[in-house]
A and B are shown apart, each in its own frame.
Chain A
Amino acid sequence: MDGGPVTVEASAERLMLTAQGDLDGALASSVLAALTRALDASPAPVIIDLRGVTSYDEAGAQGLLRAHEALAARSRRSAYLLDRPRIRALVFKVIHATQDERTRPVATLEMAERWLHEPSTQSFADASLERTRTLLDRFRGKLALRGATSR
């Protein structure tokens, strides 16, 4: 860890990359360089913490896409830790562009850990859709019960 705008903490369980500031081309290049080094050094799954990133430009978006392509090329499971809708939208775009099924955005470290060690290999999108269907059926069941009780 070098204390700069991009830091990496490595353990046996995970790599944690943290970036701070506005995501422009320079910061994205630092993310790519740090991530590539970390991926080469460890087989652990990855958490990319972008809670310190407040904004981005097109060069930053392209750079993050390249960094994620490096991650996806290694078939590494990952999670993006985020606390801003704007940055979450960017990550959704990156996921869509790379079609990486092993990653997802999360809001807490606990959610990230759960996803990284999830035994299912189902993509976040597919798992979400399946969950929607199951929950919709359950919701319908409760509505029917509610209707029967109120009659």
Chain B
Amino acid sequence: MMERPSLPKRALARVLNAITWVGNGYAPPFSSELLRSYSLRELTRRSAAVTELAKVIEADLGERDGHLLLGFASLWNGCQVCALGHIYAGNLAHFRDRGELLAVDEQALSRLMRVSTDAELLEYSERCLAGPGEARILGLVRRLYQIKLTGADDGVDEQPGDSEMLAAAISAYDWINHCTIYSEGERPPLIAFSRLNQHFLLRARYAAARRAAGGPPQTSA
């Protein structure tokens, strides 16, 4: 659908990716697309806002739920890279801390994102988060859906600041998901958007556990 970004922009994107890899543990695959739209200065300014938001949300909800929430904020935009990258990061944190798999399977979500309606995707997510101890994240995902897709939010916060947190996460991905760059038939790389992306052993153990549980094979960058 689009021409490739220019050679200098692709080169600059490689430098940015190297910096992000060292600083955050992963290299986002859409840096060159963002540089097509924004100057380096503007991109840095914008990325800083999203990174800061992610840090504050993670500090409030914890590593696992922070990443899950960020993933769900992007999920309904259809962005396989951002949504699955954060949900994968949340899954890795859950697997590392509890030694078990969370029911939200990023590979299943990847398939569902291609064929489901918004409401069907919510139903799947609710089924996955129906277990004991998941009430907080389930409540947040339901409200996120209400705010983003129905406009029928009740405005009742379980914790002060929930409304602002959810609306901020939605807004953040509403600008960055302009870079959902993959064409039909292309399979985007699965990259955990956290430092856990560099824990190769953890990722291998997680992939083996998913395979053993009957999920499809993991392919990650």
Contacts and interface: CB of A to CB of B under 8 A. Distances in A.
B115 interface: yes
A102 B174 CA distance: 14
Contacts of B119: 83
Given A125-B178, A132-B172, A142-B160, A88 B78 contact: yes
B167 A108 contact: no
B49 A132 contact: yes
Contacts of A99: 37
B63 interface: no
B16 interface: no
Contact of A135 (B160, B168, B184): B168
Interface string B173-210: 01101111101110000000000000000000000000
B151 A89 contact: no
A94 B46 CA distance: 21
Of residues A62, A65, A104, A105, which shows the largest number of chain B Cβ atoms within 10 Å of its Cβ?
A105
Contact of A58 (B113, B168, B183): B183
Interface of chain B, main secondary structure: helix
A33 interface: no
A61 B1 contact: yes
Q: Interface size bucket, A side?
A: 35 or more
A111 B2 CA distance: 29
Of residues A90, A99, A108, A132, which shows the largest number of chain B Cβ atoms within 10 Å of its Cβ?
A132
A96 B161 CA distance: 32
Contacts of B53: 132, 136
A62 B1 contact: yes
A106 B115 CA distance: 19
A151 interface: no
Interface string B40-74: 00000010011011001000100000000000000
B74 to A, nearest CB: 10
A129 interface: yes
A26 interface: no
Contacts of A97: 1-2
Contacts of B180: 89, 92-93, 96
A104 to B, nearest CB: 8
A126 B1 CA distance: 23
A83 B183 CA distance: 20
8 contacts: A85-B113, A86-B78, A93-B2, A93-B180, A96-B178, A107-B149, A125-B178, A132-B50
